[in-house]
Structure 1
Amino acid sequence: MILDNYRATWETEETDALRQHAREFIAREVTPNELKWEENHQVEREFWNKAGEAGLLCASIPEEYGGGGGTFAHEAVIQQELGLAGDSAWHNGVHSVIVAHYIYQLGTEEQRKRWLPGMASGELVGAIAMTEPGTGSDLQAIKTRAELDGDEWVINGSKTFITNGTHCDVVVIVARTNEQPGGKGLSLIVAETKDLEGFERGRVLDKIGQRGQDTRELFFTDMRVPADNLLGGVEGKGFIQLMQQLPQERLILAIAGASACEGAVRETIRYVNEREAFGRPLLGFQNTQFVLAECASETLAAKTLTDHCTGLHIEGKLTTAQASAAKYLASDLQSSVADRCLQLFGGYGFMREYPISRMYTDARVQRIYGGTNEIMKLLIAREFKLD
């Protein structure tokens, strides 16, 4: 098949070994639990410790802070294996690629040493609290407030759609800390949630897809955190800090989308080779061949784009527009490929026991979170203006 014998230029023997290790761990600890996690709307808390013991958390964080000492390439192969397996319950990307890197890239040395080792071991689970009920992609409209009272920040507000909201021990909160308009008044403050007064986990959100992933509302009522928890010790720079980190977030979403496309294609190829209709395998019908040829070709294109962007990111050359293009194209294709593959399953594709049904419903949110694809197109188009 055209997706076989494909190898990105940034892959090495080391990432090959990690890929095999991640594949075995996922087959043993993730795939058998997908339906249970979906029913419970969360992975078990102990699973994070297992992932930490396996060395699959914070793979790109330096060893001196407890991480794997790798690069973004190591995070990419872990995410690719999760996408191939059709997993959407364990959001390691939020924990390892997003939250851990906010702390590593923006935090003080004391903050790195305080939080990163626990995140790498699984003792601490990370979340980031950006979205509010009335803001969506408009981060400059955030209303959650943090006021300095002596040596503490007093935080009031609410957040929604928070990934890892059930288990989070460390939350990076986007809050307004001064009266300047728009993004100028935003700061990033870290809350340690254990026994934290004023911190409340709201309802578990009932989603149409990614049902095994724990997503909640969070509420802050006169919640006090140490002044030293201001990320990087810099006030009023939150919006700039967010913009610096968002390309990596969007790239990991693009990788998730492209690998999920491949997972759907491979799952469907297995099915149409085994399933018969009118006395022959489904693969014997020209329509089946055409649909899978289209899906496999588009998947290869998505993999090529995301791997190109991954190489640029490893070299420190990835632009906002390039990350946005990868996220937009891969997530659009993820929905399209999953839809066309499900059609080849007929009625069985509508049954939750078949992985393709979850791949279909899980795909839809990819075009929304991390910045909607409409926002991605605006970011891409900004580069079209002549100087």
Structure 2
Amino acid sequence: MISNPSALNTLLADIRRFVLETCIPLEAEIDRTDVIPEPVVAQMRALGLFGHSIPREYGGAGLTAEELTLVNIEVSQAATVFRARFGGNTGIASESLVADGTEAQRTRYLPRLASGEITGCFALTEPEAGSDATSLRTVAVRDGDHYVLNGSKCFITNAPLADLFTVFARTDPDTPGAHGISAFLIERGTPGLSTGPAERKMGQHGSPVGDVYLKDCRVPASAIVGEVPGQGFKTAMKALNKQRINLAGLCIGPAIRLVDEMVRYAATREQFGRPIADYQLVQQMIADSNTEVHAARALVLETARKRDSGGDVTMEASMCKMFASEMCGRVADRAVQVFGGSGYMARTVAERFYRDVRVFRLYEGTTQIHQLNIARRTMEARGRALELG
């Protein structure tokens, strides 16, 4: 749903200018230094990028799912680390509050997240709890009006620089699986919470990822999202359901960029006295890539519109994430192939993006987890249809 076409077009134009004039010229430097310069982050704040999906009453732009998809497609045509810097605030790190937070929690944190004054992160994954997030071992023990948390988290985007942590912990040790998990809002500086150094990664240099440690971390019971214990896993799934549509949009932008780069390179690179763009096997790679980009874009926008209309998009969100991330990986692989030997060299956009987009098939649920989810829901729906028929 597009609520204000004129305002959206202005926003997209502003983002396109930011991407072309500020982000793309800095891609190689940031990949080398592993740091986004602070003046660039200040520009992100000035453009309102930290608060796109946060409701207007809390200082955000209140974009619909469809509008947010179009923004994500635009902004991710630069190296994905730029969006990662503000993406938590306008995505997974704020959505728990938007979905289930109390009014006091929303008022306290959402305006600061929307402005970029603070950076949020979503601390769910653990060394023994990845795809099976319900097996997490971080515990929160009730002590009067407080809880004491102990455990650790890993692979948490923005953990090394985050100010606000949404931490998932088991508050009911006697309840297995999802039902005994609660989500806590914990500020940096709280005694007992610490973070490790940024991990060295395959790609997305400039987007810090690290561990979160909780050792006798004491927080008030009012720190639980919504102040309702045992609802944390449901809160996480609400956040992830929306984020999977966002992430699918973020897979489309790099693929669009890579198609453009393939076309540009093929038109200028000559072999056997002709541009390689004249050769049909190169044309096939470009044609397949562009077709898959359009297919992913159509699927994600259709799903976003269904979500905006109030429909249940749990299965479609999985489809979007699975298809778009796999599509992006195939396009990145073809881009390296079209670039040939140059595509293997670190100086080219094909090599950088090939590394950057590989993680899309892993986080927010691996491809294989989404395949299982899609199959299960498909069979359940088919079973219901047979019963009714």
User: For the residues of structure 1 that align with 2:151 and 2:254, how far apart are their CA atoms?
Assistant: 35
User: Is structure 2 residue 279 aligned with structure 1 residue 306?
Assistant: no
User: For the residues of structure 2 that align with 1:118 and 1:369, how far apart are their CA atoms?
Assistant: 26
User: For the residues of structure 2 that align with 1:253 and 1:58, how far apart are their CA atoms?
Assistant: 16
User: Is structure 2 residue 97 aligned with structure 1 residue 103?
Assistant: yes
Alignment of 1:184-333 (within 5 A): 184-193=179-188, 195-333=189-327
User: Which of residues 377, 380, 383 in structure 1 aligns to 2:374?
Assistant: 380
Greater shift, 229-238 or 98-107, is seen at 98-107
Alignment of 1:1-387 (within 5 A): 12-44=5-37, 47-91=40-84, 92-179=86-173, 180-193=175-188, 195-383=189-377, 384-385=379-380, 386-387=383-384
Q: In structure 2, do the counterparts of structure 1 residues 342 and 10 end up closer, same or farther at CA, with 3 Å as the change threshold? A: farther
Q: In structure 2, do the counterparts of structure 1 residues 288 and 17 end up closer, same or farther at CA, with 3 Å as the change threshold? A: same
Structure (1 or 2) with the greater helix fraction:
2
For residues 248-304 of structure 1, give each alpha carbon's deviation from its aligned partner in whole angstroms, at most 9, with x where no partner exists.
Answer: 111111111122211111111111112222222111111111111111111111111
Partner SS for 2:125? coil
Q: In structure 2, do the counterparts of structure 1 residues 46 and 177 end up closer, same or farther at CA, with 3 Å as the change threshold? A: farther
Residue 202 (structure 1) shift: 1.0
Partner SS for 1:292? helix
For residues 61-80 of structure 1, give each alpha carbon's deviation from its aligned partner in whole angstroms, at most 9, with x where no partner exists.
Answer: 22221111332233222211
Q: In structure 2, do the counterparts of structure 1 residues 123 and 38 end up closer, same or farther at CA, with 3 Å as the change threshold? A: same
For residues 334-362 of structure 1, give each alpha carbon's deviation from its aligned partner in whole angstroms, at most 9, with x where no partner exists.
Answer: 11111011101011111222111111111
User: For the residues of structure 1 that align with 2:4 and 2:103, how far apart are their CA atoms?
Assistant: 31
Residue 212 (structure 1) shift: 2.3
Q: Structure 1 length as normaliser, TM-score?
A: 0.93
Aligned 8 A contact 2:3 2:64 in 1: no
User: For the residues of structure 2 that align with 1:279 and 1:307, how far apart are their CA atoms?
Assistant: 43
Q: In structure 2, do the counterparts of structure 1 residues 40 and 197 end up closer, same or farther at CA, with 3 Å as the change threshold? A: farther
Q: In structure 2, do the counterparts of structure 1 residues 156 and 315 end up closer, same or farther at CA, with 3 Å as the change threshold? A: same
The aligned amino acid for 1:36 is: E
The aligned amino acid for 2:158 is: N
User: For the residues of structure 1 that align with 2:66 and 2:225, how far apart are their CA atoms?
Assistant: 26
Residue 44 (structure 1) shift: 4.1
- Aligned positions, number: 379
Partner SS for 2:184? strand
Aligned 8 A contact 2:123 2:165 in 1: yes
Aligned 8 A contact 1:45 1:167 in 2: no
Aligned 8 A contact 1:38 1:213 in 2: no
Partner SS for 1:191? strand
The aligned amino acid for 2:187 is: E
The aligned amino acid for 1:59 is: H
Q: Which runs of 5+ in 1 are unaligned?
A: 1-7
User: For the residues of structure 1 that align with 2:144 and 2:53, how far apart are their CA atoms?
Assistant: 36
Match of 2:387 in 1: none
Residue 15 (structure 1) shift: 1.8
Q: Structure 2 length as normaliser, TM-score?
A: 0.92
User: For the residues of structure 2 that align with 1:101 and 1:48, how far apart are their CA atoms?
Assistant: 21
Residue 94 (structure 1) shift: 2.4
Residue 207 (structure 1) shift: 1.4
User: For the residues of structure 1 that align with 2:357 and 2:262, how far apart are their CA atoms?
Assistant: 16
Aligned 8 A contact 1:173 1:188 in 2: yes
Match of 1:4 in 2: none
Aligned 8 A contact 2:19 2:77 in 1: no
Residue 103 (structure 1) shift: 0.9
Q: In structure 2, do the counterparts of structure 1 residues 183 and 323 end up closer, same or farther at CA, with 3 Å as the change threshold? A: same
Aligned 8 A contact 1:93 1:252 in 2: no
Match of 1:5 in 2: none
Percent identity, please.
35
Residue 57 (structure 1) shift: 1.6
Residue 45 (structure 1) shift: 5.2
Partner SS for 2:196? strand
Partner SS for 1:369? coil
For residues 181-222 of structure 1, give each alpha carbon's deviation from its aligned partner in whole angstroms, at most 9, with x where no partner exists.
Answer: 1111100001110x2222221132121122221111111111
Residue 305 (structure 1) shift: 0.8
Q: In structure 2, do the counterparts of structure 1 residues 362 and 221 end up closer, same or farther at CA, with 3 Å as the change threshold? A: same
Q: Which runs of 5+ in 2 are unaligned?
A: 385-389
Aligned 8 A contact 1:60 1:69 in 2: yes
The aligned amino acid for 2:58 is: Y
User: For the residues of structure 1 that align with 2:36 and 2:269, how far apart are their CA atoms?
Assistant: 32
Aligned 8 A contact 2:96 2:238 in 1: no
Greater shift, 42-51 or 128-137, is seen at 42-51
